Amino acid sequence: MLTELESCSSDGSKIWPAYLGLTFDMPGKKTRLIKSVHKGPLYVQKLFYPEGLEHAHVYLLHPPGGIVSGDHLRISVDVGENAGVFLTTPGASRIYRARKDVSVQRVVFDLTIGANAMVEWFPLETIVFSGACSQISTKINLSEGSCFAGWDICSLGMPASFSGFDLGSFKQKYVLQKDGMPVYVDRLELCDQENSLLSKPAGLQGFMVSGFLILGPFVDGADSIISRMREIEFMAKSPHLMSISRVGNFLIGRYLGNSAEHAKKIFVNWWKLARPILMLREFCEPRIWLT
């Protein structure tokens, strides 16, 4: 007998949708998780405070570690006024080959940031296997005085194993908005090879890993930070493509290459420079990344 969250695909296989809703607040001098609702295999464990009680570190856990045909993961996070939250994942997410019915694999992430709150959303990379049929949607909504730092790193196939993305579709939409009005939108849509941008000069140019970093909004100091970011030594020696630019009061970093680990290294170095100015905090690497 199927549980409340299970259902069947057209070929009779089970699918397992999951939901996680988190609400954070800062009633005193400590950021607290005041509400957590989950259905299916999405959880958080206890909060960590490696840099003080006002800024909590939270690990989002998806025990299966992978998404198959028909699965739908939905995460909703609400961070209250003046609170501080660092969100990450313990490992890469994997989107596997779709079943024969090509049912869509969906991931939806919605984040609402209250007035004067600070939020970081740094999930580890998403690996999309050839033959997947996936849609990923991320929406970040800022309020007055709040700030955000986040990245998205996607590997189409497994570059280290010379396994590419030869079949399937991948649709990704990332929207950053303030008080309901879009300030930055990033979209990537790849269909079967005849329509894809995998090899085109205006697309991915044959690279398998792409990513972007968003930081802001900055009140001042953004231009000086960009100059320092561009002077990082290993950037000049990298065979991959990367850039950092200013869009309004935000800094947007980009990576195009064949290594998710290299993309993460670049973004972490940029964030180390920007965090003390944007959030008045030194970089604090989450312990889960070191295990």
The full 3-state SS of 1-58, as one line of letters, equals: CCCCCCEECCCCCEECCEEEEEEEECCCCCCEEEEEEEECCCEECCCECCCCCCEEEE
Q: Which residue has the higher pLDDT, 234 or 70?
A: 70
DSSP state, residue 75: E
CB within 8 A of 203, min separation 6: which ones? 196, 197
pLDDT digits 0-9 by tens, 2-38: 333 344 444 445 566 899 999 999 998 999 999 999 9
pLDDT digits 0-9 by tens, 71-122: 899 999 999 999 999 999 999 999 998 887 778 899 999 999 999 999 999 9
Give the chain's end-to-end CA distance (angstroms, integer). 38
Which residue do the tokens 């998780």 mark?
Answer: 33
Bond into 17 cis (ω within 30): no
Residue 271's pLDDT band, with cuts at 50, 70 and 90, is: very high
**Could you give the residue ranges of the DSSP H alpha helices within the chain?**
222-230, 233-236, 260-278
What pLDDT, on the 0 to 100 scale, is given for residue 192?
A: 64
| Maximum Cα–Cα distance across the chain | 61
**What angle do helix axes 222-230 and 260-278 make, rounded to 10 degrees?**
150
Whether the CB-CB separation of 216 and 250 falls below 8 Å is answered with yes
**Nearest to residue 62, comparing CAs of 123, 1, 120, 149?**
123
What pLDDT, on the 0 to 100 scale, is given for residue 33?
A: 97
What pLDDT, on the 0 to 100 scale, is given for residue 1?
A: 28
How is the chain split into domains, by residue range?
Answer: 14-290
